[in-house]
């Protein structure tokens, strides 16, 4: 049994495609998502169908594999079953949990309503809706302050996703859309990236991170390192910074959280016993 059909789950399924194995792949959606390109969907550069593939179609030639559409709610280690809604229990001898990660709000779950993360197609389409709608709201704004607020986009986290998203947003606003509106100049769009660390792309070599920082600056992205979020409200972020002032406010009606990840809810729920551990 493999729970999750992301990169890890599909890689494991391919390795277990032999005739001596009876394999079940369980996922809560019917499709695999190529996550590195989610930011392209979030900025309307790609359609969702261009970065997804049906799990059944991907594994169609593996005659030993059954695909089950269900959400794993828990693991009964005594009965060796994965518990799913509506009383569905899927038995297994060996279990691989490949449920991936989700965005983390670092102890502030109340921020999720204000700053959506980017881990799935639903997240990407919601961000795309808000991104495009912000320009419509700016076009209809009655005051300059209101217009500027709608044209300010805040991205929390300067990892690969945050940097890619910021760059594409500036390109679209500055090069693609600027002739489409009559009362607002989309080239005035402000994209602010807040990063708590010393530099962007902390997992990359310093030289590559510095090169990316220069590229973002050329695009007009405002990158603020050593700036950790301390408070989030409907129209404003409050940050702490170790540079000049102890606190600063970032105004904007629109923000995305791509700062950190935590394991998916299925992970903690799965640890319900030790006798099954060697078979995980």
Instruction: Give the residue numbers annotated as catalytic, written as ranges.
Output: 164
Q: Six-digit token pair at 63?
A: 């005659």
Task: State whether residue 157 is helix, strand or coil.
Answer: coil
Q: Six-digit token pair at 134?
A: 């912000």
C-alpha–C-alpha distance, residues 117 and 255, integer Å: 9
Question: CA 198 from chain center: how many Å?
Answer: 22
Task: State whether residue 151 is helix, strand or coil.
Answer: coil
Phi and psi dihedrals of 254, rounded to 5?
A: -140, 130
C-alpha–C-alpha distance, residues 22 and 33, integer Å: 25
With b for 16 or more beta-carbon neighbours within 10 A and e for fewer, the 210-232 pattern comes to: eebbeebeebbbbbbbebebeeb
Q: How many CA atoms lie within 13 A of 274 on its CB side?
A: 0
- Asked whether 6 and 30 are in contact (CB, 8 A), the reply is no
C-alpha–C-alpha distance, residues 175 and 18, integer Å: 51
Strand partners, 261: 103
Phi and psi dihedrals of 45, rounded to 5?
A: -80, -30
Any residues with CB less than 8 A from the CB of 169 and at least 6 apart, and which? Answer: 43, 131, 153, 189, 191
Give the pairing type, strands 81-83 and 254-257: unpaired
């Amino acid at each position: 049994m493999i729970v999750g059909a992301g990169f890890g789950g599909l890689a494991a399924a391919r390795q277990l495609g032999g005739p001596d194995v009876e394999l079940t792949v369980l996922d809560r959606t019917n499709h695999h998502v190529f996550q590195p390109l989610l930011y392209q969907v979030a900025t309307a550069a790609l359609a969702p169908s261009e970065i997804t593939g049906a799990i059944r179609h991907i594994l169609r030639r593996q005659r030993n594999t059954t695909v089950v559409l269900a959400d794993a709610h828990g693991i009964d280690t005594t009965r060796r079953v994965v518990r799913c809604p509506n009383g569905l229990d899927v038995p297994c001898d060996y279990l691989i949990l490949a449920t991936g990660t989700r965005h983390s709000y670092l102890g502030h779950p109340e921020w999720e309503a204000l700053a959506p993360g980017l881990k799935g197609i639903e997240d990407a389409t919601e961000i795309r809706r808000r991104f495009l709608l912000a320009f419509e709201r700016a076009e209809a704004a009655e005051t300059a302050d209101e217009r500027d607020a709608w044209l300010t986009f805040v991205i929390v986290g300067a990892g690969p996703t945050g940097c890619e998203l910021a760059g594409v947003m500036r390109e679209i606003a500055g090069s693609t859309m600027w002739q489409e509106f009559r009362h607002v100049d989309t080239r005035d769009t402000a994209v602010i990236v807040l990063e708590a660390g010393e530099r962007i792309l902390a997992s990359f070599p310093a030289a590559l991170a510095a090169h990316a920082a220069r590229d973002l600056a050329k695009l007009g992205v405002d990158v603020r390192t050593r700036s950790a979020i301390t408070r989030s409200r409907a129209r404003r972020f409050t940050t702490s910074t170790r540079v000049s002032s102890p606190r600063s406010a970032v105004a904007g009606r629109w923000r995305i959280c791509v700062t950190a990840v935590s394991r998916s809810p299925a992970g903690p729920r799965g640890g319900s016993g030790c006798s099954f551990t060697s078979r995980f």
